[in-house]
Each structure stands twice: as C-alpha cells, then as structure tokens.
C-alpha cells in the first residue's frame, strides 16, 4: 500500500538564467497527505506544474502513477485532479451547473453527471448552495466547489496549490478536514502547497520544506526536528535558587551527559540537550543541594523550524 505515486528525480527548472527549482528529489506515497511548505517564490507552484506536465523541467524526470509527466501529460491528467490557486468557474452558472458541465466534458451521460454533481456538492458541504450562481460564492465556497470539480473526475491523486489562501479560519479547518477525509476514507493521495505552517502541520503525514527552489528537509514533523536541530533538539528550562553551599549550577549541569549548551536568564537556566534528560537534570539539581523551583521541557516544533528557516534565511547554515 505504501508505494510511491509521485516521484521527482533530480528536477531542475530554469527560467532563463534564474533557477526556480534546483535539483529536487521528492517522493509521495500512496494515500498520504503530503505538504509542500515554503514562502512565496520558493518554487512550489513550479514543482506542481512539472508534476502535472504543464511545464517541462530543464533537467531531471517526473513520474506520476508510473507515468512520465513530461512526455505523457494527458495520461497523467486522467489520474490527477488539480486545483490551481485561482479556480475558474462560469460565474453565471450555478454551482451544480458548473459541475455537470465538467462531468459532461469527462464523458458522463447527463443523468450520471447530475447524480455525481449532487453527490459531490454534498461531500464538500455545499448542498444548500447547489442552485446559487458560482459568481455569488465566497472564496471558501469556490474552493469547495473546486474540490468537487476535481473529485467528480474520480482522481487517484489530488494536487492543490495553496487551497486555503483567502479562506477564513473556520473555513480553513473545514477544508483541511475534508482533505484528510479524502485520504483516510477514500485512499486518495493528496498533495498540497502552502506557506502556512500551522495548516500543514495539522493535516500532513509528510512534509517537505522548500526554500529557494530546494527542499531543505522532509519527513514528518518529528523527523524534521531531528534533521534540523540534530544535536540539540530539546531545551530544558530549570528555575534554580541557590542555597548557602554556593554551588555553581552551570558546572553541575555541564557534567550531565547530553547537555550541549547552557544559557542563563536570572534564575532560569536554559539547557540545550541532545536527548531528553529532564529527570536527570532534576536529580542533579536536587542532589547538589540547590532548590528546583521550575522545570520545563521544550521540544523544537515546526514553529522553530519555520522561524529559523523562513524568517531569517541568511543565518541558515546548519543541517
């Protein structure tokens, strides 16, 4: 069940002398929810277009369901449903008329097209808006209609480019739940791009961090923490008050195996560690005769990864 359905092998895309995607390798497994996370201009949309065969890589190869996207884009199109950033609908037609139109284009009889349209409008939560003109739909409703439009073609894979941009927070949550449902219940492989880490973190089984055309890390959130913060994935903060013995807390703490660096803010000692040694730290503090007033373990999450890689990009030398 876990074979690769999307494989990018050493893909590069240049626009003139500018490299938008730089020697990228990426695999997506069947039925997973895969997130491409990165700031604007990172190369996410370009990568998606190459997966779909809508733009040719300068070098490297792309296959989707074992089909070469560059040489057989039409075959790929049969397997993949694609929701671009801005979905186009006929605004004068109702939601359901738009879907019936798509279904008819895909070879459904009128009867089948109408039945499917109703079914998928329901699936995406638009049952009450079937007969409203698409031009009157909100951004969130348009995205749902876009998803229905993609699903009606019964794709094995759906690829969504920034599907949640411009939707309000409640709408985002519903939309993300819908996507996860497609993967869990229907076994559809979902790949979506986003510059919003919280959304990606909420729903993705696997994610790839894009910066300037390169994937700087990929894996699940925990894998990424280890990859990016390899030698000190934990920070343990200890509040220590000194007693009469005049013990030096830093000296005592440094002796513990796994402690890499210690910084101090008044009575709080922030201890960076290569492994979780919270209990060992507590023991050493108490056994050395110091008072332990506070102890907290912090694990690096995507927030830190994001801050480190996306918001202060020039400092990023560590791997």
Contacting residues toward ligand ADP, per CB under 6 A: 15, 20, 38, 40-46
Cβ proximity to ligand ADP, 49 vs 121, nearer residue: 49
- Identify what 209 binds: ligand ADP, Mg ion, none; CB under 5 to 8 Å per kind: none
Return the one option of Mg ion, ligand ADP, none that residue 206 interacts with (CB less than 5 to 8 A, by type).
none
- What is the rounded CA–CA span in Å between residue 45 and residue 40? 9
Q: Considering CB distances under 5 to 8 angstroms, the limit depending on partner class, which of ligand ADP, Mg ion, none binds residue 46?
A: ligand ADP
Exposure b/e, 120-159, CB count within 10 A at least 16 = b: bbebbbbeebeeebbeebeebbbbbbbbbbbbbbebbbbb
Minimum CB distance to ligand ADP, residue 316 (Å):
17
> CB of 43: closest distance to ligand ADP in angstroms?
4
Out of 5, 20, 26, 45, the only residue in the binding site for Mg ion (CB under 5 A) is: 45
Q: In what order do the strands lie in the sheet with 33-37?
A: 80-83, 157-161, 189-194, 33-37, 206-211, 214-219
Judged by beta carbon distances under 5 to 8 A according to partner kind, the member of Mg ion, ligand ADP, none in contact with residue 15 is ligand ADP
Nearest one of 148, 182, 211, 239 to 34, comparing CA atoms: 182
In angstroms, give the least distance from the CB of 114 to Mg ion: 34
Distance CA 274, CA 258 (A): 5
Q: Which residue, 234 or 310, is less far from ligand ADP as judged by CB?
A: 310
* Residue tagged 């995205």 (tokens): 143
Distance CA 17, CA 64 (A): 28
Q: Least distance to ligand ADP from the beta carbon of 312, Å? A: 19
Of 38 and 125, nearer to ligand ADP (C-beta) is 38
Residues lying near Mg ion in the complex (CB under 5 A) are found at 44-45
């Amino acid at each position: 069940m876990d074979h690769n359905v999307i494989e990018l092998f050493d893909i590069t895309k240049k626009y003139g002398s500018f490299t938008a995607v730089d020697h990228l390798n990426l695999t997506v497994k069947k039925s997973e929810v895969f997130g491409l996370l990165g700031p604007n201009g990172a190369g996410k949309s370009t990568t998606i277009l190459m997966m779909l065969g809508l733009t040719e890589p300068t070098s490297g190869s792309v296959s989707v369901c074992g089909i070469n996207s560059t040489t057989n884009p039409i075959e790929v199109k049969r397997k993949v449903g694609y929701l671009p950033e801005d979905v186009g609908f006929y605004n004068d037609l109702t939601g359901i008329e738009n879907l019936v139109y798509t279904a008819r284009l895909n070879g459904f009889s009128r009867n089948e097209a109408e039945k499917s349209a109703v079914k998928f409008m329901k699936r995406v939560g638009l049952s009450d808006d079937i007969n409203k003109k698409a031009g009157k739909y909100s951004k969130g409703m348009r995205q749902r209609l876009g998803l229905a439009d993609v699903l009606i073609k019964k794709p094995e894979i759906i690829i969504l480019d920034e599907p949640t941009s411009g939707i309000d927070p409640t709408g985002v949550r519903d939309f993300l739940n819908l996507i996860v449902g497609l993967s869990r219940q229907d076994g559809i492989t979902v790949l979506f791009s986003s510059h919003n880490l919280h959304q990606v973190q909420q729903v993705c089984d696997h994610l790839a961090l894009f910066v300037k055309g390169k994937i700087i890390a990929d894996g699940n959130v925990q894998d990424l923490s280890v990859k990016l913060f390899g030698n000190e994935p934990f920070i343990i903060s200890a509040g220590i008050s000194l007693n009469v013995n005049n013990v030096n807390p830093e000296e005592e703490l440094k002796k513990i195996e796994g402690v890499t660096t210690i910084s101090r803010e008044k009575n709080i000692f922030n201890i960076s560690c290569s492994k979780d040694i919270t209990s060992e730290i507590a023991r050493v503090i108490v056994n050395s005769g110091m008072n332990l007033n506070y102890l907290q373990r912090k694990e690096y999450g995507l927030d830190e990864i994001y801050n480190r890689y996306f918001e202060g990009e020039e400092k990023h030398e560590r791997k």
